[in-house]
Amino acid sequence: MVEIGIRLVAIDVDFTLIGSDLKIKDRTKAAIRAAAEAGCIVTLASGRMFRATAPFAEELGIDAPLITYDGALIKAAKTHEVISHRPVSLEQAREVVAYAQQEGLHLNVYMDDTLYVERYDEEALSYMAHAKVEAVAVGDLDAFVNRAPTKLLIIASKEDVDRRLPEFKARFGDRLHVVRSMPRYVEFTAADVSKGSALAILARHLGVSRNEVMALGDSENDISMLEYAGIGVAVRNAADEVKKAANYVTEGESGDGVAEAMSRFVLG
């Protein structure tokens, strides 16, 4: 393999940077800090809200723009400068809201970096615990949503998502980007929004060429950025379709895989 000088690294958060304990391992922190000290720009690329991603960036000492909401918002970790914001149109958002209500599905709506739900059901409570954010229960989301949201997210059982995902894509895929991010999560963003398109925007903003980018991930919503990057890395615990899209699959899972990729492709 020809060695490529990596100047920008984008790391997915859930089950790539962190495992089920939601903590960053010391080995992972050390590798990321060493890469930064070597002159590499390290960022996080997550489906999470900005406010739920920023604490990890702070813990790692990252001050680069963060890719959040599956690529819909790129915002600087420390200065909070917005590099790019591409929300879902109000009309299309209302279609998703109406569909979720009709089907009895839990829906998260994100506006102004705030999470809105109809009520505090099991899905809302589990999401709040995982993301460590508070949701605002507003009752009828159809009546509440009056401006373009950054993103929408349906939460259902893994089996229900398995069954419904083709239907979601068939119904909305020509107007929205519909992608599974975790076994129970289906993300709805604007049609041109993905982690890959956001990484391309960020790389141009930073003056970094595609061949100088490495991306790391584990889930379907990471495939676009692995395909964009000069080096796309799947951690060992990644879904099979993610591994197929990657240039390299780590021997380690989650954070251990991140440290391994940093050592191999950035620190040399």
Among the listed residues 122, 120, 193, the one whose alpha carbon sits nearest the alpha carbon of residue 152? 193
Residue 34 to residues 222, 227, 252, Cα–Cα distance (Å): 24, 25, 19
Q: What is the pLDDT of residues 135-149, one digit of tens each?
A: 999 999 999 999 999
Q: What is the pLDDT of residues 40-95, one digit of tens each?
A: 999 999 999 999 999 999 999 999 999 999 999 999 999 999 999 999 999 999 99
Query: Which amino acid, one-letter code, is at 177?
Result: H
CATH number belonging to the domain at 8-85+193-267, selected among 3.40.190.170, 3.40.50.1000, 3.40.50.2300, 3.40.50.1370: 3.40.50.1000
Domain residue limits, the chain: 8-85+193-267, 90-190
Whether the CB-CB separation of 230 and 6 falls below 8 Å is answered with: yes
Whether the CB-CB separation of 21 and 226 falls below 8 Å is answered with: no
Q: What is the pLDDT of residues 90-120, one digit of tens each?
A: 999 999 999 999 999 999 999 999 999 999 9
Residue 118 to residues 7, 105, 135, 137, 209, Cα–Cα distance (Å): 43, 11, 10, 5, 43
Buried b (16+ CB within 10 A) or exposed e, 7-27: bbbbbbbbbbbbbeeeebbeb
Whether the CB-CB separation of 252 and 259 falls below 8 Å is answered with: yes
Among the listed residues 268, 264, 265, 262, the one whose alpha carbon sits nearest the alpha carbon of residue 25? 262
Q: What is the pLDDT of residues 206-247, one digit of tens each?
A: 999 999 999 999 999 999 999 999 999 999 999 999 999 999
CATH number belonging to the domain at 90-190, selected among 3.40.50.620, 3.40.50.150, 3.30.1240.10, 1.10.260.40: 3.30.1240.10
Q: Where are the beta strands (DSSP E) in 81-234?
A: 82-85, 106-111, 114-117, 135-137, 151-155, 176-182, 185-190, 213-217, 231-234
Q: What is the pLDDT of residue 268?
A: 83
Find how far residue 171's CA is from the centre of its chain.
22
Q: What is d(CA 132, CA 241) in angstroms, rounded to the nearest whole number?
A: 29
Among the listed residues 211, 258, 187, the one whose alpha carbon sits nearest the alpha carbon of residue 13? 258
Whether the CB-CB separation of 187 and 181 falls below 8 Å is answered with: yes
Q: What is the pLDDT of residue 2?
A: 37
4 pLDDT more than 90: no
Element (H, E) at 9: strand 8-11
218: DSSP letter: -
**Whole-number mean pLDDT of the chain?**
96
Q: What is the pLDDT of residues 8-41, one digit of tens each?
A: 999 999 999 999 999 999 999 999 999 999 999 9
Share of the chain above pLDDT 90, in %: 98
Q: What is the pLDDT of residue 99?
A: 97
Mean pLDDT of 147-168: 97
